[in-house]
Amino acid sequence: MIGGEVVKKLRVLLAIQGNETENSNLQQVNQLITLLLTDPKVILTVVGKVDDKMIGDHVNFVSLEKYNVETIKDYILHHENSNPSNVIILYGNHLIEQCAYYDYAFKTIPYLKNVNIELFRKVEGAFPYFFVDDGIKLKLSKHINFDKKFMTLPSTLWIKNEEKGSFFKEQKSFSINDYLIVNYNPHFKNKKYHVVIDFFETNPNKFAKQFKKIEKQLYRTQSQVTWEIIVNDNTQFKFNIKSNIKFTNRNNQFANEADLYIQYAPDITQDHNIEDIKRNLLQYITSGTPALLFRHPHNIELFGEHYPLVNKVHKLIDDDLFYHECASQAYDVSLSYNAIEVRNHLLSTLWKFNSERETILFAGHDFKFLRNYINYCKGKNINVLIDQWRGHKTHHVEVSNQLLEQADIIFCEWGLGNIEYYSKNKLKGQKLFVRIHRQELETKNLDRIDYEKIDKVIAVSPYILEEFSRLKNIPREK
């Protein structure tokens, strides 16, 4: 019967010390749960109080009278004896300390929620990995050397689906003196530029003086430069300006397309939310937009001591390669805060705790070009199933259904009736691949495929790849 789920699961037990009041600010845990549940093959058991919005089909919540160290530890021992997890995650310093060197420490990962050097020294040899957020990592790094045992889960994550963006465009036009003064270069007079200034300042008049310096330098080319200034809802600008300026409320959705992003926050105080500042910055650099920053410990933490647009900004206009270097470095920084990158690293690490064999199902009418790969998979301790079709369209449906429900991965050799059937019937959490040959250019099967259901299309040669992209409109990202 179609509609089941894949065989191999990752069973995770998350234990949270304390009661609902003590854990009222569990953003770290909620984010971790969200990342885990992006994988439909994760079965999560939670012992502790979390937000109701975390409830999902693959989450089992365990209710205890008390969520103190003793009751949680007793539950873990009982649970692992009766229904073992692949990996256990602990949240709470006392719980971490009490579970160090217990029977299941070899598959347990503590989440260090604050800086406690004494605790870490006690337990560092007990567990295979530790979770930390970027802020805790920065503080701990002053006392310990970070190695592969630490997995960083940033407090701010950004989702960006596009590939590297604007720094591949020819849009280099500025030389920057200090951190805000932009000079026009006549060599680029036929170009148009959009510059975004993220304005974190309690005194608009102070900013106005700085902006007038820019306006004076750009008075000949105002039609070529547009400015977008992001402000708080209650910020009022009362100065006379001539440049083409758009003011955007920070509370509204704003575009992240820009040739240059300037972060104007000369004095970060308690009035400013550091996470908001970081989030806005990430929105631009994840598109490949170079960012001009003020020197502050939070920016040094994010970009490092030698980011060019803090120290060598004067080169930006004169050197196209320098612009690319700045944009590329900014984009690379954003990857550490990209939700997809963080998720992939997290899940690939956790899946190492599951030693069960994976099952791959090969489906098609002719495997003569695939025999070596099938034998290779068998040699890699992968469970191999074969759905042998009788022709391009003919197969035993009941057999295909039974095999489908056993598979973690489906590999369709040839893109014919087999890929039509499996793309329509694949189960949640299964991966689906198809390898295409020249023959499929002359059939209609691929025209009826929903490519959202396919993980990857494998072409037998670069020529075939280009032909199918051109004639069958197969998405190139597939």
Share of the chain above pLDDT 90, in %: 29
Strands 260-264 and 244-249: unpaired
What per-residue confidence (pLDDT) applies to 418?
95
Task: Please choose, from the candidates 264, 28, 346, 262, the residue with its C-alpha nearest in 3D space to the C-alpha of residue 156.
Answer: 28
- Tens of pLDDT, residues 105-121: 999 999 988 778 888 88
Residue 263's contacts (CB-CB under 8 Å, 6 or more residues apart) are 198, 200, 277, 280, 281, 291, 292, 293, 294, 299
DSSP 439: G
**For residues 339-354, b (16+ Cβ closer than 10 Å) or e, as one string?**
beebbeebbeebbebb
What is the average per-residue pLDDT within 161-174?
36
pLDDT band at 327 (very low <50, low <70, confident <90, very high): confident
What per-residue confidence (pLDDT) applies to 467?
87
- Tens of pLDDT, residues 349-358: 999 999 888 8
State how far Cα 214 lies from the chain centre. 37
Taking each helix axis from N to C end, the angle separating 397-404 and 417-425, rounded to the nearest 10 degrees, works out to 50
Round to whole Å and give the CA distance between 419 and 101. Answer: 49
Provide the β-strand partners of residue 13. Answer: 45, 88
What per-residue confidence (pLDDT) applies to 320?
67
User: What is the widest separation between alpha-carbon atoms in the chain?
Assistant: 78
Strand ranges of the sheet holding 59-62, from the earlier edge strand across to the other edge: 59-62, 42-47, 10-16, 87-91, 108-111, 130-132, 150-152
pLDDT band at 168 (very low <50, low <70, confident <90, very high): very low
What per-residue confidence (pLDDT) applies to 182?
33
Q: Two tokens at 327?
A: 């944009």
Where is average pLDDT lowest: 32-36, 209-213, 398-402? 209-213
**Residue of 155 and 224 predicted with greater confidence:** 155
Residue 250 pLDDT greater than 70, yes or no: no
- Tens of pLDDT, residues 372-414: 999 999 988 899 999 999 999 999 999 999 999 999 999 999 9
What per-residue confidence (pLDDT) applies to 4?
47
What per-residue confidence (pLDDT) applies to 169?
33
**Residue of 309 and 164 predicted with greater confidence:** 309
Residue 19 pLDDT greater than 70, yes or no: no
pLDDT band at 310 (very low <50, low <70, confident <90, very high): low
Neighbours of 191 (CB within 10 A): 15
What per-residue confidence (pLDDT) applies to 322?
75
What is the average per-residue pLDDT within 273-280?
72
pLDDT band at 224 (very low <50, low <70, confident <90, very high): low
Residue 161 pLDDT greater than 60, yes or no: no
Residue 163 pLDDT greater than 60, yes or no: no
Q: In the chain, how many H helices and how many E strands?
A: 15, 19
Q: Two tokens at 219?
A: 């008075």
Name residue, tokens 């994550």. 157
- Mean residue pLDDT of the chain comes to 77
Interior CA angle at 287 toward 284 and 292, to 5°? Answer: 40
Neighbours of 453 (CB within 10 A): 14
What per-residue confidence (pLDDT) applies to 12?
95
- Tens of pLDDT, residues 290-303: 887 776 777 777 78
Provide the β-strand partners of residue 409. Answer: 360, 431
Residue 270 pLDDT greater than 70, yes or no: no
Round to whole Å and give the CA distance between 410 and 63. Answer: 38
Q: Two tokens at 59?
A: 């989450």
DSSP 125: T
Round to whole Å and give the CA distance between 364 and 418. Answer: 6
What per-residue confidence (pLDDT) applies to 298?
72
pTM of the model: 0.72
pLDDT band at 218 (very low <50, low <70, confident <90, very high): very low
Residues in the chain: 478
